[in-house]
Amino acid sequence: MNEGLARARERLAAIGSSAPLRWVRRHKRALAIAVLVLVAVFIAVYVAVRPEIVGQVLAVGPAALGWLTGLYVLIVATHWAILLLTVRWCQARIGIREGLLLTVYSTVANFFGPLQSGPGVRAAYLKAKVGVRLRDFTLATLVYYLAFGAVNVSLLFARTLPWLAALGLAATVVLVAVVAWRSGAGRRIVTAAIAAVTAVQALLMAAVYFVELNAVSGPGADVLQSLVYSASANLSLFVSITPGAIGFREAFLGFAQSLHGVGLDAIIAAGIVDRAFYVLFLGALFLLSSLLNLRAMFSAPAGGDADAREGDAEGLGDARA
């Protein structure tokens, strides 16, 4: 076995010293900038070939746009917090700014990429740059998905069977407590924190749909409808293979009409507004974070020490490359 491991290490060392990888290391800053530019162009083309996106978003009114902007900023903040907690659960460390940039880029990848690309981007980066083991990241991510799924399944019945929703939420608390206890002494608080932030995230998503439903159909969508509507939409993410769960979300919402009571016309209109706004929101967020990233790249002098200090900027570029 020792001889096999030695041969494997020799092969890995040979691969690491190969000409292509040496070229990548020498040009990693240029490659990082190229990736940023390519993604920015992709977003611009995406909006250019669908110019109606801008009109659909502006038609809902400035007040609704303001609320949606604030709510989506808070939702990104919850993703950021969950990422930091996930890294801590894995007993590793990541910088605050580095974590924010990774959150933004993985959120963009999750919407525009195939399947659920965001977790894959985070896993690849954290393994390569932070030293997080894939097994630990997978377990921590399962804690998030467990809480996300349990909370949303419980909220499905908030309007029709409130006692069942309350029972489901109570069972979720017990389940999280058991998982936290079995996670070990060093991870119990972090596990509970991941579940708590996930619950806040679910409520923020319900607030987003409340704003959108009232914007497209006039006042009438109440809080309970929005909670159930949001739960139905969120559960579609578990089976979606399209960007933004296009088609899958509408199917889930259609099947759950008897639970949330929102008409099909309102479902379609709210879906258009949500995707249109979210594309523009992600584009603006990506461009803003990329400008800050590029500024950090160019403000630091070249050299070994500088490269270490600018690990946030270059590391994220390498992960996406």
More confident residue, 293 or 103: 103
In the predicted structure, residue 5 carries a pLDDT above the cut 50: no
Q: How many CB atoms lie within 10 A of CB 163?
A: 8
pLDDT at 193: 96
Question: In which region does residue 261 sit, left (phi positive, over 0), alpha (psi from -120 to 50) or beta (all else)?
Answer: left
In the predicted structure, residue 49 carries a pLDDT above the cut 90: no
> For 62-89, what is each residue's pLDDT tens digit?
889 999 999 999 999 999 999 999 999 9
> For 148-171, what is each residue's pLDDT tens digit?
999 999 999 999 999 999 999 999
Distances (CA, A) of 1 to 8, 9, 13, 15, 262: 11, 12, 18, 21, 62
> For 263-320, what is each residue's pLDDT tens digit?
887 888 888 888 888 888 988 888 888 777 666 656 655 444 444 444 444 445 433 3
- Straight-line distance from the first to the last Cα atom of the chain, in angstroms, rounded to the nearest whole number: 34
Q: pTM of the full predicted structure? A: 0.75
> For 209-228, what is each residue's pLDDT tens digit?
999 998 886 666 889 999 99
Residue 249 burial (C-beta neighbours within 10 Å; 0-12, 13-18, 19+): buried
Confidence label for 10 from pLDDT (cuts 50, 70 and 90): low
In the predicted structure, residue 13 carries a pLDDT above the cut 60: no
pLDDT at 263: 84
pLDDT at 307: 46
Which has the minimum average pLDDT: 31-40, 117-126, 185-194? 31-40
pLDDT at 2: 46
Query: What share of the chain has pLDDT > 90, as a percent?
Result: 37
More confident residue, 269 or 198: 198
pLDDT at 12: 46
Confidence label for 57 from pLDDT (cuts 50, 70 and 90): low
Lookup: tokens for 172: 């979720």
pLDDT at 153: 96
In the predicted structure, residue 114 carries a pLDDT above the cut 80: no
More confident residue, 126 or 267: 126
pLDDT at 71: 97
pLDDT at 269: 80
